[in-house]
Amino acid sequence: MGYTSKRTKYDGSIRILCAVLFAVFSFIYIYVFQGELLALMQDNLSKGVTESNTFVTALLFTLLLLLLQWGINRVSKLHGRWEALSYIPSCTLLALFTDVNDGTMLYSGESWLWGVPLCTILYIGIVWLNRMTVSVRRLNFYGFLWPNLLTFSLLFVLTAQISNHAPAPHMELAAWKYTHDEKFEKVLEVGRRSDDYNAELTALRNLAMAKTGTLPERLFHYPQHYGADGLVYNRHNKQSSAYGASEFYHHLGGNMPYGGENGRAYARRMAMKNDSAIYRDLYLAALLLDKDLPAFMKETAPLAISDTHVPTHYQEAWLLYNEQYPESALSFAPDSAIVARFEEYRSLQSEHEDNAIVAENLCRRKFGKTFWCYYDF
C-alpha cells in the first residue's frame, strides 16, 4: 500500500525537521559538553603536536554524521513516521566517538567491539520490520511528528549515557586552558562547588593557589585526596594527559621533580633552593597535607612573634598542635573567630562521639574547609 500525496509532502517536512534536530543536538553536544574532553583526547593522540579547534571539530563531525545518515537512508528508506530511526548509526558513532577512558583519554576499544555490531543488527532489524509494515493513510502532520520526537529523545539520552560524562576530566581540561593562559583565579572557579576530582585537577588547583598566594588560606577549600603528592603533577595517574609535566612546571620556573621524588621532597628542595614565597607556601602546604604538625610548627613558629598576618590554615594547625602537644604549646594570639570555630568543632564531635559516622558527616558538612576536618577524617 503506497503513500498518499499528502503524506509525501509531510515526508519532506519531517526529513528537514529531523536533520535540523539532529544537527543542533550533535553540534551542541560536541561543542558544549564534549569539546574539552575531545581536545584533551586529541592532545594525547598527537602527543601535543596539534591543537584542537572545538568549533571546527563539532561542525565537521556533525556534517559527516548527517552525510552518513543520508547515505545509509538512501538504501534503508526509513521515512515519514520513522525518519528518526535512520539516525541510529549516526548517534551510535557520536556516542562511541565520545566514549573515552577517564584515565588515558583514549578509546578502550571495548565499546566499539560491542557497539558497532549491535547497532548494525538492530538497524537491519528495524529496516526489515519497516518494509513488512503496511503504511498508514490519513495521518496529519503531528501523527508523523510525535514518533520522530519520541525516537530522538530516546536516541539522545542513550548517546549521552554511553559517552564519557565524568565531570573530573572535563574540569581538568578547563583548568588546563586557564593555566596555559595564566588565568589562575579562573582555574579556582572550575568545579568550585563540585566534589569530583582527579590527581591532575588537584595539582592544577594547588598550583593556581600557589600562584595567587592563596594556598595558606584556601588549601582545604578543595578536595585533597593525595596528600603532599597532590602538589606535583602526574604522580598518581601515570597515564595522564599529554598537556603534562612540561606545561605544569613551566609555571614553577621549569623546575621538575627528580625521578622518584615525592611531593613533599620536591617542595622542600625547591624552598631551600629558591627564596620564593611560592615554594615556601608549597612546602608548608606539603607539611599540612602530610599532617606533620611538629615539622610544620618548627617551620612556622617565627610567624607567631612577627607582625605579619597569620593565614587561617596556619592558625588552625597551631591550635591543633597546642591541643596535642601541650608541653610545647606555641604562644600566639589567634583570631577569636578561629578559636570559636575550633571549640564548636570539638563540641560537635563530643556530642556524637557514640556515632563516628554521624560525627564525620556533620563535621564535613560544617567544617569541611578546615585543616581540622582534613586532619581527623
pLDDT(338) > 60? yes
Q: Which of 146, 200, 143, 150 is nearest to 171 (CA)?
A: 200
pLDDT value at position 41? 64
Query: Angle, to 10 degrees, between the axis of helix 141-162 and the axis of helix 5-28?
Result: 20
Coil, strand, or helix at residue 53?
Answer: coil
pLDDT digits 0-9 by tens, 110-154: 666 676 787 778 778 877 776 666 555 566 788 888 889 999 999
% pLDDT > 70, the chain:
84
Query: Can you read off the three cell numbers belonging to residue 93?
Result: 558513532
The span from the CA of 358 to the CA of 356, in Å, is: 6
Q: Which of 61, 11, 13 is nearest to 163 (CA)?
A: 61
The listed range with the strongest mean pLDDT (65-79, 218-232, 300-314) is 218-232
Say what the pTM is: 0.74
The span from the CA of 232 to the CA of 248, in Å, is: 9
The span from the CA of 313 to the CA of 372, in Å, is: 9
The span from the CA of 302 to the CA of 72, in Å, is: 75
* Mean pLDDT value across the chain: 85
Beta carbons within 8 Å of 170's beta carbon, 6+ residues apart: 36, 37
pLDDT(49) > 80? no
Give the CA distances from residue 225 to residues 142, 167, 205, 266, in Å, rounded to whole numbers and listed in that order.
54, 17, 13, 18
pLDDT value at position 106? 54
Give the CA distances from residue 358 to residues 353, 361, 367, in Å, rounded to whole numbers and listed in that order.
9, 5, 14
Give the CA distances from residue 249 to residues 104, 111, 133, 231, 281, in Å, rounded to whole numbers and listed in that order.
21, 35, 64, 11, 16
pLDDT(43) > 70? no
**DSSP-assigned states of every residue in 155-173:** HHHHHHHHS---HHHHHHH
pLDDT value at position 242? 46
pLDDT value at position 99? 76
Give the CA distances from residue 125 to residues 69, 118, 177, 352, 359, in Å, rounded to whole numbers and listed in that order.
17, 11, 45, 61, 57
pLDDT value at position 123? 77
Identify the band that residue 238 occupies on the pLDDT scale cut at 50, 70 and 90.
very low
pLDDT value at position 136? 55
